[in-house]
Amino acid sequence: MQSLAEASPLGTYLEHLKKGELAYQVTGDGKPVFFPRAVAPVTGGKLDWRVSKGLGTVYSTTVVYYKGEAPLNVSLIDMDEGFRLMSRVEDIDAMNVKIGMRVKFRVHPGDEKQPPYPVFTPEAAK
């Protein structure tokens, strides 16, 4: 097991993101795991890191309305490798994000308070 004094699961994930990579983990028998963990769920065994191809499908979606702001998309994305994450589909009107839509990963740089995080754009877009 990796020492948590040396590296954390989220820390490793963020190192990948800073290189433009969406990382996830797999168990010994190849099952994808997300969010990143220190030990494998169910078995407690070892996890290995992989980099996603960055393509996925919108599993579900909502549009959030904050006062005085443009409507904001929030979606759950099923990645082709078989893991799911929460994200946002950008470059498209929030209400036009549909379940089943194919989407492609890119990195949002974050800001001084927020480390970088993955967002998505419609795959069909330029």
Partner 1 sequence: MRLKRGSVAVVGAAESDLGLVAPHTSPLDLMAQGTIRALEDAGLKLSDVDGLFAAATQVRMGPMALAEYLRIKPRFFDGTIIGGSSFMTHVAHAQAAIEHGLCEVAVIAYGSTQRSVSRAAASPREYNYYESPYRPILPISAYAMAAARHMHQFGTTREQLAEVAVAARKWALMNPKAWEKEPLTIEQVLNARMVSYPFTVRDCCLVVDGGGAIVLTSAARAKSLKKKPAYVLGVGEALSHATISNMPDLTVTAAAESGPKAFAMAKLEPADVDMLSLYDAFTITPILFLEDLGFCPKGEAGRFVSDGAIAPGGKLPVNTSGGGLSYCHPGMYGLLVMIEAIRQVRGECGERQVPDCKVALAHGNGGVLSSQCTVIFGSEDAL
User: Which of 7, 60, 80, 109 touches partner 1 (CB under 8 A)?
Assistant: 60
Tokens 């997300």 found at: 34
What's the Cα-to-Cα distance from 76 to each of 1, 13, 68, 98, 99, rounded to whole Å? 30, 19, 25, 11, 9
Q: Does 70 bind partner 1 (CB under 8 A)?
A: no
The amino acid at residue 37 is R
DSSP 113: S
Instruction: Show contacts with partner 1 in window 77-116 (CB under 8 A).
Output: 84-88, 95, 99-100, 108, 110, 114-115
> How many residues line the site for partner 1 (CB under 8 A)?
27
Q: Does 42 bind partner 1 (CB under 8 A)?
A: no
Distance between CA atoms of residues 64 and 59, nearest Å: 17
Q: Which is nearer to partner 1, 36 or 50 (CB)?
A: 36
* Least distance CB 36 / partner 1 (angstroms): 9
Q: Does 38 bind partner 1 (CB under 8 A)?
A: no
